Amino acid sequence: MKLLRFGEPGRERPGLLDAHGAVRDLSSVVTDFDGAALSPASLARLAAIDPASLPLAPADARIGPCVPRPGKFICIGLNYADHARETGKEPPPEPIIFMKATSAFCGPNDDVEIPRGSAKTDWEVELGVVIGSVAKYVPEADALNHVAGYCVINDVSERAFQSERGGQWTKGKSHDTFGPTGPWLVTADEVADPQALDLWLDVDGSRRQTGNTRTMIFGVAHLVSYLSQFMTLEPGDVIATGTPPGVGMGMKPPVFLKPGQEMRLGIEGLGEQRQRTVEARERRPA
């Protein structure tokens, strides 16, 4: 299944994509795609529904992130050897883990803000993994059984904030809108091999990133198992698994984003995103 959420920010409704590419409203069946709704039993119940029996969503509805704001937004750094080298670093002996603020979470086609004072905002297409059942001390052989599905993530990053301002990477990864996620959560049963997916990203129509998940240093099963040794993974948690080469900081000379540009990105079978870059806005209370 291709599950998604549609509607205005903060008021998204659950839906699914039918065989004709139309969005069907699932809100009469499930409240949202979080917690128990992502369990194997729940997903099996959703798969048994005839999409034609569900009402159509408005044709012009915004597509939101494919799952609600997660409890944990976990990222893996330097997980493609060729990307590590383009940044001047050696491939790591163990996964590099950092967290992205959940307030960075946004829809796949929402505007991406360039932070105030930014000179080095960058792009990163990544395979996203959504946890479906609690995972703690999980062996690698069982790890994929805890995955509800997969999605596209743009791990937008401000490189100066990340590497030149002291502290951990989180401050360069967490600005509002730095986590476009979706358009769909493609359930694990429809992804035969998460280590055989093509990824790509364009900026203003020029191809910047091309890769395949087979070149990950640490595959999805290893990452889920590894993370579960340090923290309990819970339904709805999201893991961004790293990016292939072609980021702006790796170009010679480096190239970074500015307001008024367009990013397009996608992963084989998981859909595409499109974002416009804009100047950061003041966030006002709802």
Per-residue pLDDT of the chain (286 residues; tens, 9 = 90+): 999 999 999 999 999 999 999 999 999 999 999 999 999 999 999 999 999 999 999 999 999 999 999 999 999 999 998 887 777 778 899 999 999 999 999 999 999 999 999 999 999 999 999 999 999 999 999 999 999 999 999 999 999 999 888 877 899 999 999 999 999 999 999 999 999 999 999 999 999 999 999 999 999 999 999 999 999 999 999 999 999 999 999 999 999 999 999 999 999 999 999 999 999 988 765 5
How many of the other CB atoms lie within 10 Å of CB of 51? 18
CB-count exposure of residue 33 (10 Å: 0-12, 13-18, 19+): buried
Structure tokens at 281: 């806005």
Residue 65 tokens read as 């992130």
Given this model, what pLDDT does residue 32 score? Answer: 97
Scanning the structure block, which residue is given the tokens 């009469």? 28
Tokens standing for residue 116? 């105030």
Distance, CA of 21 to CA of 107 (rounded, Å): 18
> Of 187, 172, 205, 173, whose CA–CA distance to 269 is shortest?
187
75 neighbors 99 (Cβ within 8 angstroms): yes
Give every CB contact of residue 11 below 8 A, 6+ residues apart in sequence: none
Four-residue CA torsion sign, 202, 206, 211, 212: positive
Instruction: Write down all domains in the chain, each with its CATH number in brackets.
Output: 65-279 (3.90.850.10)
The residue with tokens 């998604």 is 4
CA distances from 56 to 18, 20, 173 (A): 10, 12, 36
**pLDDT attached to residue 284:** 62
CA dihedral 25, 27, 29, 33 (to 10 degrees): 100
Answer for the pair 96, 76: CB distance below 8 angstroms, yes or no.
yes
Q: For strand 262-267 and strand 198-203, is the pairing parallel, antiparallel, or unpaired?
A: antiparallel
Give the other-Cβ count within 10 Å of 22's Cβ: 15
Neighbours of 213 (CB within 10 A): 24
Query: What Rg, from alpha-carbon coordinates, does the chain have?
Result: 18
197's tokens: 């997916």
Structure tokens at 166: 């002291």
What's CA 161's distance to the chain center, in Å?
A: 21
pTM: 0.96
The pLDDT, as a whole number, for residue 282 is 80
